[in-house]
Chain A
Amino acid sequence: MNGIDLVGPQFSVLATAGIVLLVDGLMPGHRRHLPFIALLGLAVSALWTLSWVSRDSFPQKDVFGGTLSLDEYAVFFYFLFAGIGATVVLASIDWVNREGRGQGEYYALLLTTCAGLMFLSAARDLITIFLALELSSIPQYILAGWGKDKRSSEAGLKYLLLGAIASAMLLYGMALLYGVTGTTMLSEISASLQANGEQYRALLVLAMVLLIAGFGFKMAVVPFQMWVPDVYQGAPTPVAAFLSVGSKAAAFAVVTRIFFEGLGADFLSDDWSMIFAIIAAVSMTLGNLMAVVQTDIKRMLGYSSVAQAGTFLIGLAAISVPGERFDLGGSGILLFTASYAFTNLGAFVAIIAISQKIGSDQIRDYAGMWKRSPLLTVGLAFLPGVPHRHPTNSGFWAKIYIFNAGVRADLLWLVVIGVLNSVVSGFYYLSVARQMFLGEAEDEKTISTSPSIAVALGAATLGVLVFGLIPMPLISAAESAVDALRTVS
């Protein structure tokens, strides 16, 4: 692998973004083909990644002067982001056509974000991580404010202002880390800290807290979660779907890499493990308690995603020591990322379809939905609610891995909180399901589903079921990805 081939997956996505803009500007008659061009670009990106895996020269861990690592770990996320991007494009078609303006720009921004997320999962250098983070964030700020209504521009501005503060804190943390170690490469940072980092412990802990604050915003964990419900409610629903899975997955990918590879030194790892454990407990509890009282379904999913981020963090808290715990926790994080992506995308796609027709996101307006659209009801009730309690589902395996890692890392108290929170989350999902199946509908009109929404929902459901029933391919992919991460450091 050399030259353009090394950034092929990102390049094909970015080139497609340019093509989409050109077609939009020069051939207005072909605007309805734009989403399919975008899908084609994402497919090329996934195929390019697939062609890497079969080559002898794969993996390459030091490309572009060690700023990117093209290993199984990055490839796992490349596939995930291509899949997430494709599902969101499909789910956006109806909304974008109805909105009527800036179709080319919408898909171009979506694709740019995908490229940024891919860079983020491969980056091994602080500067590259920062650039990839902003490449994925800035288009997301614009997308969140894309809608015509007041709420959307408010969501966009809130997301941007808080995001800018968070990235400034992240940068200060990176600057301090650079100051202590004299380098921005994660591998060299790690070596430098092992050699003579202990004397700067106070400064390093400060840098670590700033890094956690900056990434905590992207991961949407307490106490950096305040934007989540507002932005999910105000942003266009397809964009909210993208935010909830895409940027969160990438944030976990890069945090795992930074903390395990860069800050894995013994005298630091106990500190960050403890910080992650505390944030995990608070996020799960607060997220679930707030989700119970919400009346808007998008806000409810927002708080639920805060709680889910807490579950991810159990995995992060457990990986502080290399070995079996790391393998379990790391694989758990990756499995949970994938299953979380399928389930949340499915739920959001169902919400997109329903709210387009009934014009409301209030949970009480979903009453009696079973009679109006059985397919969407099953999608919405089944996807986010059942997954984590049933062995026919990928999320179940992910939780087993994460909880197991937590127990082995002597974090039994955290695992107990995690299990209790699974029960609480069942409560609000079931109450939505009860409303939809048993509630009285005010309006008996059936809700028709457009083909693109049906395909997106079908893809998400298929993902949940296939990886639930046959989890081995996903588990082995996650394990080899984690292996790559461990051997690199």
Chain B
Amino acid sequence: MTIGLEHFLTVSALVFCIGLAIALSKRNAIGVLMGVELMLNAVNLTLVAFSRFSISERPITGQTFAVFIITVAAAEAAVALALAVSVYRNRETVDVDQINLLRS
């Protein structure tokens, strides 16, 4: 059996859904972030797979896109951890259910 585009896409769709489920169900803010990382890596896998099997004259675009996503995700994670530390210092918890001062 040859591994084709559809195999990559299936795996990345599964990983994306798992990441989304984690991001929406985890109570711990760090856990939510890990879910987001999974989603972003699923996107990278999709892009690289499309790029590999592309018939376009510039197949490099998808890989470039993936590199940019990795870079931005790192910046975003840094800010997220800093904010989590700031919340933890104020509240002694990063549980999103207990971070509930803001409500009507």
Contact = CB atoms under 8 A, between A and B. Distances in A.
A126 B65 contact: yes
Interface in A163-186: 164-165, 167-169, 171-172, 174-176, 178-179, 182-184
A294 B16 CA distance: 37
Contacts of A294: 104
B46 A179 contact: yes
A182 B56 contact: yes
Contact of A172 (B43, B61, B80, B102): B43
Contacts of B76: 134, 138, 160, 164, 167
A160 B80 contact: yes
B96 interface: yes
Interface in B33-92: 33, 35-36, 39-40, 42-43, 46-47, 50, 54-56, 58-59, 61-62, 64-65, 68-69, 72, 75-76, 79-80, 82-84, 86-87, 90-91
B99 A164 contact: no
Contacts of B80: 141, 157, 160-161, 164
A158 interface: yes
A150 B16 contact: no
A241 interface: no
Given A172-B42, A178-B61, A141 B69 contact: no
A175 B66 CA distance: 9
Nearest to A203: B9
A179 B61 CA distance: 11
Contacts of B46: 172, 175-176, 179
Main secondary structure of the interface of B (DSSP, over half): helix
A156 B39 CA distance: 21
A175 B47 contact: yes
Contact of A184 (B16, B65, B69, B103): B65
A31 interface: no
Contacts of A419: none
Contact of A154 (B36, B79, B102): B102
Contact of A127 (B24, B56, B64, B79): B64
Contacts of A165: 20, 23-24, 32, 35-36, 39
Contacts of B83: 141-142, 145, 153, 156-157, 160
A363 to B, nearest CB: 12
Contacts of A157: 29, 80, 83-84, 86-87, 99
Contact of A229 (B43, B62, B82, B104): B104
Contacts of A134: 72, 75-76
Given A150-B90, A161-B96, A168 B54 contact: no
Contacts of A176: 46
Contacts of B40: 168, 171
A234 B104 CA distance: 12
A184 B42 CA distance: 18
Main secondary structure of the interface of A (DSSP, over half): helix
B36 A183 contact: no
Contacts of B9: 179
A167 B54 CA distance: 24
B101 interface: yes
B96 A184 contact: no
Q: Which among A155, A167, A175, A294 has the highest number of chain B CB atoms within 10 Å? A: A175
Q: Which among A127, A229, A234 has the highest number of chain B CB atoms within 10 Å? A: A127
A153 B50 contact: no
B104 A178 contact: no
Interface string A262-298: 0000000000000000000000000000000111100
Contacts of A158: 96, 99, 102
A176 B49 CA distance: 11
A151 B79 contact: no
A130 interface: yes
Contacts of B90: 149-150, 153-154
A131 interface: yes
Contact of B101 (A127, A130, A154): A154
A182 to B, nearest CB: 3
Nearest to B77: A164
Given A172-B43, A179-B46, A182-B56, A151 B101 contact: yes
Given A161-B29, A165-B36, A172-B39, A127 B68 contact: yes
A161 B33 contact: yes
A172 B50 contact: no
A172 B20 CA distance: 11
A138 B91 contact: no
Given A154-B90, A161-B32, 15 more contacts: A127-B64, A127-B68, A131-B72, A134-B75, A141-B83, A151-B101, A153-B87, A154-B102, A157-B83, A164-B33, A168-B36, A175-B47, A178-B50, A182-B50, A299-B104
25 contacts: A131-B72, A134-B72, A134-B76, A138-B72, A141-B80, A142-B79, A153-B83, A157-B29, A158-B96, A158-B102, A161-B32, A161-B33, A165-B39, A167-B76, A168-B20, A168-B23, A169-B20, A171-B40, A175-B43, A178-B61, A182-B54, A182-B55, A183-B56, A229-B102, A296-B104
A-B pairs with the 3 shortest C-beta distances?
A182-B56, A168-B39, A179-B50
Interface of B: 9, 16, 19-20, 23-24, 29, 32-33, 35-36, 39-40, 42-43, 46-47, 50, 54-56, 58-59, 61-62, 64-65, 68-69, 72, 75-76, 79-80, 82-84, 86-87, 90-91, 96, 99, 101-104
